[in-house]
Amino acid sequence: MVPSEIEAYLESLIPNREPLLAKMEQYAKENDVPIMELIGIEALLQLLRLVEPKAILEIGTAIGYSAIRMAKALPETKIVTIERDEERYNKALSYIKEANVENQIKVILSDALDVTISGTFDCIFIDAAKGQYTKFFEKYEQHLAKSGVIISDNVLFKGLVAANNTDNRRIKSLVKKIQGYNDWLMNHPSYHTTILPIGDGIAISKLKR
């Protein structure tokens, strides 16, 4: 993981976000809603600017923070995002309307493992229940364009997947699942994958040719 002093320095260089985004960041902090860390989302947006996806599928909307950030960074891109928590779903709809990106973002209220979607996506972004990442990947990779990428957030899980030093049984079980996902992903015969120690850890997977 990036040392805290370097992380603080990098965050100090990031321009101030518009008031709505700052409001969302504060809401997430006060209500314990998981959204991407600031350096992580900035890295994600820069990667997407390079990929230039026409369509993005996001697994895990939460309150719509990352979907709105992606829509603002890529005004020609369409985003489909899935959220199973009704309260967060409704909050996301409200924020998306306030951000005036309703024409870009479609939010689906459902468990991502239950819903059926159609279409092809240039980017699939996985940022939901970490213990289900392998299932999410296997379910939705069929919708990935041949030149597309699959991005998985939280794959270093606060550094615990490397340190492996927690005594909390629930956390330890989750750490093992993420470690298993990382091992599976890095050795997947169909994808080139790299893991960046940015934010909470971002894995980038691209189909082999």
Q: Would you list which residues are annotated within the binding site? A: 36, 66, 83, 111-112, 127, 153-154
Binding site feature residues for S-adenosyl-L-methionine:
36, 66, 83, 111-112, 127
DSSP 8-state assignment for residue 198: S
Q: Is 201 helix (H, G, I), strand (E, B) or coil?
A: coil
Binding site feature residues for Mg(2+):
127, 153-154
Q: Describe the crossing of helices 19-30 and 86-98 by its angle, rounded to 10 degrees.
A: 160
* CA 134 to the chain's CA centroid: 14
Query: By C-alpha distance, which of 122, 135, 39 is closest to 79?
Result: 122
Q: Is 99 helix (H, G, I), strand (E, B) or coil?
A: coil
Residue type, 136: F
- CA end-to-end span of the chain, whole Å? 31
Spatial separation of the C-alpha atoms in residues 175 and 95, rounded to whole Å: 32
